[in-house]
Amino acid sequence: MNITTSYALDILLGLYVYTYPIPLSNVSIDFNVKVPRPQGFIVSEIINTACTKDIYEKLVEGGEQERVAGTYCVFIVNKTNIDTLTLAQKMRSKLYCRDFEIMGLKEAHAIAYQIIVLISCKKIEKKFSLSSKNARVDAILWFCSNEEPDLIHSANKFHITILFKNNDLLPHFETMLKLLNSHEWYVLNFFGYQRFGSRRPITHILGKHMIKGDLQEFLNTLCHFTSTYRNPNTLERILCKNIKSDLEEFLKSIANEPLYRRMLRLFVNAYQSYLFNKLLSLTWLKLLDSLSIKEAFKKLKNDYRYLPLPGYSTKADGVIARILDDVLSSEGIKTNSFCLKWLKNTCFYGDYREALTRASEVNYFIEKDRVTITFLLSPGAYATIVLRELLRCNPLLYT
């Protein structure tokens, strides 16, 4: 029963396995597909049981904002080709706000409808637009409040179009749909490609260098694997421009800026995500050594429902502890490595994450050369991981 991947990007990110073996004997499926970006990948947040796309469209059509003054102003944005943190910072600067809050990071190369809360702004605009190169943002004010708003982010809704260049592959794809449906759409809850940067997957490598205190390698990696265009205000630009500075002192100084501090933390979080992926992959392989898929699922749901996201205070026992020790040892680190003395003794304590996730309210429509699929995932789960299970092809085709 072969469930391992051969794709280099998967292996680089700790995605060693698929949840299910391919059900077709002696058939090697290599889907030649494309998910057109950004228009073929649309994501909305479900906030207090309402869909942000629906709220946005209602406000655009002339719906009245509930209140337009207060400490906390809740905007719904329709963003394309821009990452969430960059967008939030641009909005914060435009309206002269003290800070911002987000419900979660959404894919940059997609159309996303999401909440951004701006805090203590000197001015408020009911609606505004931002654009640069291929990026486009339309923001509209939902409401303001003097108290922190009670926003419950229960799910993300995805609407994805998959184009098939070879119609003969559709029957195989339908087989994969039936397979996941037979298991109620449960899949291993890996961190997805965009967590690491699918086109430049180095964020976890940067985090590893930070954890090991190898700041020169951190800088070398950041500046060597550079993007073709650098915004002059990005952390990347600032660090690479000051490559000959006292790096440790320089990092300490820029970490006082909230946005840059968030970005530095994201690098370490990405490394923790990679370690989790590796742990989950090895745990699944261990279970399938002696159990059927059905039995392994039962074991994961009942005994190993939550796996550690490695950090300073992470604890595990039994089989999981042994696998975790092997993962950390192979990386040359220990749990106490996650306290960074050079960064003002900042500690990354770790957490626990569900080993499985489930797509719900799944609907799909099959046409001649394409499939349109919609589904809900809990916050923190990745639609590209569901696509990965369905397509089994080079992830660069759909990320």
DSSP string, 357-388: EE-EEEEEEE-SSEEEEEEEE-TT--HHHHHH
58: which residues sit within 8 A by CB, 6+ positions away?
none
| Cα gap 333→325, rounded to integer Å | 10
**Per-residue pLDDT, 312:** 95
**Per-residue pLDDT, 12:** 97
Phi, psi at 93, each rounded to 5° = -70, -40
Least confident of 189-203, 306-320, 379-393: 189-203
> Is it the case that residue 24 has pLDDT exceeding 90?
no
Least confident of 4-18, 170-184, 227-241, 246-260: 227-241
What's the pLDDT band for 178 if we cut at 50, 70, 90? very high
Q: What is the pLDDT of residues 287-317, one digit of tens each?
A: 999 999 999 999 999 999 999 999 999 999 9
Q: What is the pLDDT of residues 42-60, one digit of tens each?
A: 999 999 999 999 999 999 9
Least confident of 109-123, 185-199, 216-230, 248-262: 216-230
The domain defined by 49-151 carries CATH number 3.30.70.3160: yes
**Per-residue pLDDT, 322:** 97
| Cα gap 163→346, rounded to integer Å | 45
Least confident of 25-29, 113-117, 173-177, 186-190: 25-29
CATH of 8-38+156-189+357-397, picked from 3.30.1360, 3.50.40, 3.40.50, 1.10.760, is: 3.30.1360
**Per-residue pLDDT, 252:** 76
CA 139 to chain CA centroid, nearest Å? 22
Strand-pair partners of 156: 45, 377
Least confident of 71-75, 154-158, 198-202, 352-356: 198-202
Assess contact for 275 and 205: CB atoms under 8 A. Answer: no
**Dihedral-angle region of residue 185 (phi above 0 means left; psi in -120 to 50 means alpha; beta otherwise):** left
* Mean predicted lDDT score pLDDT of the chain: 90
223: which residues sit within 8 A by CB, 6+ positions away?
236, 239, 240, 243
> Is it the case that residue 114 has pLDDT exceeding 90?
yes
Assess contact for 387 and 359: CB atoms under 8 A. Answer: no
Mean per-residue pLDDT, 269-273? 98
**Per-residue pLDDT, 226:** 58
| Cα gap 338→212, rounded to integer Å | 9
Where are the domains positioned within the chain?
8-38+156-189+357-397, 49-151, 194-354
| CA nearest to 388, candidates 129, 22, 69 | 22
What's the pLDDT band for 132 if we cut at 50, 70, 90? confident
> Is it the case that residue 15 has pLDDT exceeding 90?
yes
Higher pLDDT, 250 or 8: 8
Least confident of 26-40, 79-93, 141-155, 284-298: 26-40
Q: How far lies 177's CA from each of 174, 184, 359, in Å?
A: 5, 11, 12
**Dihedral-angle region of residue 350 (phi above 0 means left; psi in -120 to 50 means alpha; beta otherwise):** left
**Helix 203-211 and helix 258-288, axial crossing angle in degrees, nearest 10:** 100
Higher pLDDT, 10 or 233: 10
**Per-residue pLDDT, 230:** 45
Least confident of 14-28, 39-53, 330-344: 14-28
**Per-residue pLDDT, 228:** 45
102: which residues sit within 8 A by CB, 6+ positions away?
84, 85, 88, 114, 115, 116, 117
Percent of the chain residues topping a pLDDT of 90: 73
CA 237 to chain CA centroid, nearest Å? 23
Q: How far lies 200's CA from each of 145, 205, 397, in Å?
A: 39, 11, 15
Mean per-residue pLDDT, 126-150? 94
Instruction: Please identify which residue in the block is written with the tokens 């604890």.
Output: 315
**Per-residue pLDDT, 64:** 65
Q: Cis link prior to 38 (omega < 30° from 0)?
A: yes
Indicate the DSSP class of residue 4: B
Percent of the chain residues topping a pLDDT of 70: 93
**Per-residue pLDDT, 18:** 97
The structure's pTM equals: 0.93
Instruction: Please identify which residue in the block is written with the tokens 């993007």.
Output: 227
| Cα gap 63→101, rounded to integer Å | 24
Assess contact for 221 and 214: CB atoms under 8 A. Answer: no
| Cα gap 230→237, rounded to integer Å | 6
Mean per-residue pLDDT, 259-265? 84
